[in-house]
Amino acid sequence: MNAKNMKSKQKTPRTFKQILCSDNVTGYAFAAPFIIGFLGFTVIPMIMSLYYSMTDYNLVDDPNWVGLFNYVKLFTQDDRFWNSIFVTLKYVVIAVPLKLTFALMVAFFLTRKSRVVSVYRAIYYLPSLIGGSVAVALVWKQMFSRKGLINSLILNMGFDRVNWLGDERWAIIPLILMTVWQFGSSMIIFAAGLKEIPSTYYEAAQIDGAGTVKSFFKITLPCLSPIILFNLVMQTISGFMVFTQSFVITQGGPNDSTNFLALYIYNNGFGFKKMGYASAMSWILLIVIATVTLIIFKVSKRFVFSEASDN
C-alpha cells in the first residue's frame, strides 16, 4: 500500500467546535447537572454516612472509629429505638391504607362525567401542594389543641373534650389524619389509571347483569392493580420517612408515642450531637424500607393483574 492510500485512510482531525457540537458532548452537558447533584447530594453523603455510622462523631471533634459498636448498642441497649420502629410501623400500617382508600374513592367519583370535575380535582389536590409544610402542621396543631376546632365540635355534640396531643392513646391520630388529608397526589394517579380502563369492559359487564359494586371489584380493581401497587410502594416509603408532623405538632411525645424513627434520628444527630449513632439508625431505616418494599413486591404477584402475564 502506497503512502497516498494510507494518507487517505487516516481520519481528518476534528476541530474544537466540531467536538463541542457533537451529540455526545451535548448529552453529557445536559446530564451534568443531574450527575453532579446525584453524586454531591446522594452518593457521597451515603458513603460518608456509612463511615460515620461506625464512628463516635459529635459534629465538633474528629470522628473516632468504633466499628460496629453503634449497631450493637441499637439492638441491645436502646429501648427507645425499638419503640420508634414500632411507632413508625404502626403509623405506616394505619395511615397508608386509609390514604390510598380515600384517594381511590375520591378519584372514582371525580372521573364521572361532569362539567365542573376539573375544578373539583384542583380543589382536592390543593392539600398535597401545601401538605407536610410547617405552616400546615401548625394549623393542624391548633385544630387539635384542647380549645381547638375539633374539641369545640365534640363539645357541641355533647361529648367530653379529648386531650388529642397530650394523651399517648390519641396523639398519633391527628398525625394519621393529616397524612390521609394529603391524598391529592395518589388521587391524580388513580384518576389517570381509571381513565385508561376500556369502557367496553363495563359495557360487557352491564350486559351480563353486573351492578356497579360487582363491576368495581371485578373490573376496576384488577385493572387498577398496577397503579395501586405503585401508590402503595411510594406512600409506604414516604410513611417510613415521616418527620414534619411529629416534629412540629407533638415533638415525639407524649411518652414517645409519636417518636417516629426519622425524628429519633434527627434528635440524636442534631439534638444530642451523636451523629455517628444517628447515621447507624439511618442505615437501619434504609434496610427496613428496602425489606418492606421487597415484601410488597413479592406479595404483589398474587393480586396485581397483568395482561402480558395473563396470556
Q: Residue 15: pLDDT band by 50, 70, 90 thresholds?
A: low
- Would the pLDDT of 281 be above 90? yes
**What pLDDT does 207 receive?**
85
Instruction: Output the pTM of the full model.
Output: 0.84
Write down how long the chain is.
311
Three-state secondary structure of the chain: CCHHHHHHHCCCCCCHHHHHCCHHHHHHHHHHHHHHHHHHHHHHHHHHHHHHCCEECCCCCCCEECCCHHHHHHHHCCHHHHHHHHHHHHHHHHHHHHHHHHHHHHHHHHCCCCCCHHHHHHHHHHHHHHCCCHHHHHHHHHHCCCCCHHHHHHHHCCCCCCCCCCCCCCCHHHHHHHHHHCCHHHHHHHHHHHHCCCHHHHHHHHHCCCCHHHHHHHHHHHHHHHHHHHHHHHHHHHHHCCCHHHHHHHCCCCCCCCCCHHHHHHHHHHHCCCHHHHHHHHHHHHHHHHHHHHHHHHHHCCCCCCHHHHC
pLDDT, tens digit, 9 for 90 and up, residues 17-41 = 555 556 667 777 788 888 899 888 8
Tell me which residue of 266, 240, 237 sits closest to 251, measured CA to CA. 266
- Would the pLDDT of 14 be above 70? no
| Share of residues in the chain with pLDDT > 90 (%) | 46
**What pLDDT does 206 receive?**
86
- Would the pLDDT of 289 be above 90? yes
Q: Residue 52: pLDDT band by 50, 70, 90 thresholds?
A: very high
Q: Which three cell numbers stand for residue 104?
A: 381511590
- Would the pLDDT of 116 be above 70? no
Cis amide bond preceding 63, omega within 30: no
Tell me which residue of 155, 140, 88 sits closest to 250, measured CA to CA. 140
pLDDT, tens digit, 9 for 90 and up, residues 241-268 = 999 889 999 999 899 999 999 999 999 9
Tell me which residue of 236, 256, 237, 233 sits closest to 246, measured CA to CA. 256
- Would the pLDDT of 285 be above 80? yes
Q: Which three cell numbers stand for residue 218?
A: 371485578
pLDDT, tens digit, 9 for 90 and up, residues 174-222 = 999 988 888 888 888 998 888 888 888 888 888 888 888 888 888 888 8
